[in-house]
Structure 1
Amino acid sequence: MNNRKLSTFLLLLISFTFFAQSESMKDKKEQIRSLKVAFFTTELDFTTNEAEKFWPLYNTFDDNQFELRHNKMKAFSRRMNDGSLDKITEKEATYFLSQIEDTEEELFLLRKKFMQNVKSVLPAVKIVKLKKAEEDFNRKLLQQYRNKNLKK
């Protein structure tokens, strides 16, 4: 592992500690975004030109994706977690299922549009690496969350 990747990895580990201590949702989201920028930049080795064009596209995509997941699924999540699913009617279940399907389709179309836009900014190899970097980043973030909860 070269020094650049090692230093970025150490920065990520330290940053994850700060992430775990943050209190507000907005702060956490901004911290995650900063970590993601550092991680993706290292993994994808962006040129200055690529980075200038990529990040506005990605941030818009990421914000829209968060909004869809957070806001549209809030009612369903509340219903799933309050124990009332045992009493749900077939009509209500059909409605919730329809909501889930619509949200999933919107997320798919959002990602598809993002991929079309990013093709004009990054070569195909970096777009494939982006997909892997997203998965790796999410896995590391989830692992950090799990480790934090195990210590409690």
Structure 2
Amino acid sequence: MKKILLLCLVIFTVNFSFGQRGPRGKVKALKIAYITEQLDLSTKEAQQFWPIYNEHEEAMENLKRNERKSIRAIKEANGLENISEQEAEDFLTNYVSTEEKKFLARKQLIKNLSNVIPNKKILKLVKAEMDFNKRLLKQLRDRRRANQ
């Protein structure tokens, strides 16, 4: 019964928090529900897990947002052919730096979570995220095929 109440609380909170944000909010809500189901967190674990995980997700989103800005800047310069060698070097330096930051953020997430949930559940989280992303990409591909 506690698990059902916890799942309902998470879904309600997610819908309330992300309901105004359109498709991305819906994807985040589905991801949270999927992770909640896969990890089978106790109430105490969930209370400690979600703030750590949400902070990590926010940091990753900021890194990805900056990455997208760099890519848009290249597109606005009319593609790779029209940027200078120095601009290409700057982009690559930024790219490597961003990838390092993502790695360090992921490493910190695992360290922080190891104080909250068992290592097996952290592995379940890694698998759940990969499975969720695969399912999401499959649904997008299927929708594109259906619309053609």
Q: TM-score, normalised by structure 2?
A: 0.79
Calculate the aligned-residue CA RMSD, in Å.
2.0
* RCO comparison, higher one (Cα < 8 Å, 6+): 1
**Distance in 2 (alpha carbons) for counterparts of 1:46 and 1:79:** 43
State whether structure 2 residue 107 is matched by structure 1 residue 116.
no
Structure 1 residue 129: deviation in Å?
A: 0.9
Q: Per-residue CA shift, 1:101-126, capped at 9, x if unaligned?
A: 11111111111111111111110001
After TM superposition, the score normalised by the length of structure 1 is: 0.77
Which among 24, 35, 39 is matched to residue 40 of structure 1?
A: 35
**How many residues were matched structurally?**
129
Q: Structure 1 residue 87: deviation in Å?
A: 2.1
Match of 1:99 among 86, 94, 107: 94
Q: CA deviation at 1:88?
A: 2.1
Instruction: Give 1:137's aligned residue.
Output: 132
Residues 1-150 of structure 1 mapped to structure 2, 5 A cutoff: 26-80=21-75, 83-150=78-145
Q: Provide structure 1 residue ranges, at least 5 long, that are not aligned to the other structure.
A: 1-23
Identity %: 37
Where does the alignment leave 5 or more consecutive residues of structure 2 unmatched? 1-18
Report SS of the residue matched to 1:144.
helix
